[in-house]
Copies of this chain bind each other. A is one copy, B any other.
Amino acid sequence: MIEFVRRPAAREREHEMRDRRQTRYFITGGAGFIGSTLADRLLAEGAGVVAYDNFSTGQPEFVEEARRHPSYSLVEGDVLDEGALEAAMRGCDTVVHLAANADIRFGLEHPRRDLEQNTLATFHVLEAMRENGISRIAFASSAAALGEPSVFPTPEDCPLPIQTSLYGASKMACEGLISSYCEGFGFEGYVFRFVSLLGERYPHGHVIDFCKSLRKDPTTLRILGDGTQRKSYLHVQDCISAMLRVVNRRTALETEHRVDVYHLGYPEFIELKDSVRWICERLGVTPRLEYTGGSRGWVGDSPFVFLDVSKIRRTGWEPVHTIRDSIFATVDWLVENPWLMERR
């Protein structure tokens, strides 16, 4: 009888302790645009964060505030350094894998890079998790993994695409690794296919390229393609809200294969021309626009990116920032932080 009484009580105490215990997130690419913004949000919510970054594109300035927080630690390391990765991850319970080569456009100049920094790196992250007994992973995939879709807005279970960029192909390879670890090793996986993100700390893409160019010469702007490329964009804070909503509810546990895939985007799209107009308006410049022509900005660029976000909206999530507001916020932040445009 003593046994009978003690066991449930012990179990309850253990459960309570686990609840009170701080969730510790391990963020690869933790000093990057998305990673540092996520870290700030998690710290504000009371979670612990270990940020892992090799500072190839991450910025010390992005983590300045977080570093003063007692529940934050920063480890400088590369995701391809298996030993360092495994050691840094120790004691965490959830991995958010954001580190990647995000340079879609120049993939063809160095085809090994997407394979190594995305596919192999993800394998190392998964193996380091196994070594540490961590089984919960959220992953930043991309709309680019859908190649040039045939259905718009594009749902999570769209027709199996043909890959058109090494970057997209590598992101799909990462998704495959993660879901087979969920099936085979009982991992719990959250895969988020993002449209391009905008907002504070935005380091890379057409908005910074245009702002840089207009800073140098506000009279002319050269635009890749014919300007009719249709794209959706999402504010980084809306993106993080969506990710945390899903990860906190642990929805993957209710799925057949323990992996849950979500498309994250804004439920509208714009033409590149619109973005050009808004950027110029916000900067107060009226350059002569030179379009290079063609329906794609570069080989592998998808001329139409528009994700179906019904699934994430069914969780109650709604984006707060319109695409126009997000572009304005990005431009404003870049104007206030010109150091980032000078850095690379």
Task: State the A residues within 8 Å of B (CB).
Answer: 107-108, 111-112, 115, 119-120, 123, 126-127, 146-148, 150, 156-166, 168-170, 172-173, 175-177, 179-181, 183-185, 257, 259, 261, 299-300
Chain B residues with CB under 8 Å of A259's CB are 162
For this complex, 7 residue pairs linking A to B, each with C-beta atoms less than 8 Å apart, are A115-B177, A146-B160, A156-B160, A159-B159, A159-B160, A169-B173, A184-B299
Q: Which residue of B lies closest to A149 (CB)?
A: B160
Chain B residues with CB under 8 Å of A173's CB are 119, 169, 172-173, 176-177
Q: Which of B112, B123, B160, B162 is within 8 Å of A257, CB to CB?
A: B162
Give A245 Cβ to nearest chain B Cβ, in Å: 21
Chain B residues with CB under 8 Å of A163's CB are 175-177, 179-180, 183
Find out whether the CB atom of B162 lies under 8 angstroms from the CB atom of A172.
Answer: no
Find out whether the CB atom of A164 lies under 8 angstroms from the CB atom of B257.
Answer: yes
Give A217 Cβ to nearest chain B Cβ, in Å: 31
Chain B residues with CB under 8 Å of A158's CB are 159-160
Select the residue from A159, A162, A168, A300 with max chain B CB neighbours within 10 A: A162
The 6 A-B pairs of least Cβ separation, nearest first, read A169-B176, A173-B173, A163-B176, A157-B159, A163-B179, A164-B183
Find out whether the CB atom of A161 lies under 8 angstroms from the CB atom of B160.
Answer: yes
Find out whether the CB atom of A185 lies under 8 angstroms from the CB atom of B108.
Answer: yes
Docked Cα-Cα span, A163 to B173, in Å, equals: 10
Find out whether the CB atom of B123 lies under 8 angstroms from the CB atom of A184.
Answer: no
Give A253 Cβ to nearest chain B Cβ, in Å: 15
Docked Cα-Cα span, A126 to B146, in Å, equals: 22
Chain B residues with CB under 8 Å of A257's CB are 147-148, 162, 164
Chain B residues with CB under 8 Å of A175's CB are 163
Find out whether the CB atom of A180 lies under 8 angstroms from the CB atom of B168.
Answer: yes
Docked Cα-Cα span, A115 to B124, in Å, equals: 11
Q: Which residue of B lies closest to A120 (CB)?
A: B115
Given contact pairs A107-B184, A123-B115, A173-B173, A179 touches B162 in the complex (Cβ within 8 A):
yes
Chain B residues with CB under 8 Å of A127's CB are 111-112
Given contact pairs A108-B184, A108-B185, A179 touches B160 in the complex (Cβ within 8 A):
no
Give A302 Cβ to nearest chain B Cβ, in Å: 11
Give A113 Cβ to nearest chain B Cβ, in Å: 11
Chain B residues with CB under 8 Å of A120's CB are 115
Docked Cα-Cα span, A115 to B299, in Å, equals: 27
Find out whether the CB atom of B261 lies under 8 angstroms from the CB atom of A184.
Answer: no
Find out whether the CB atom of B119 lies under 8 angstroms from the CB atom of A162.
Answer: no
Find out whether the CB atom of A162 lies under 8 angstroms from the CB atom of B261.
Answer: yes
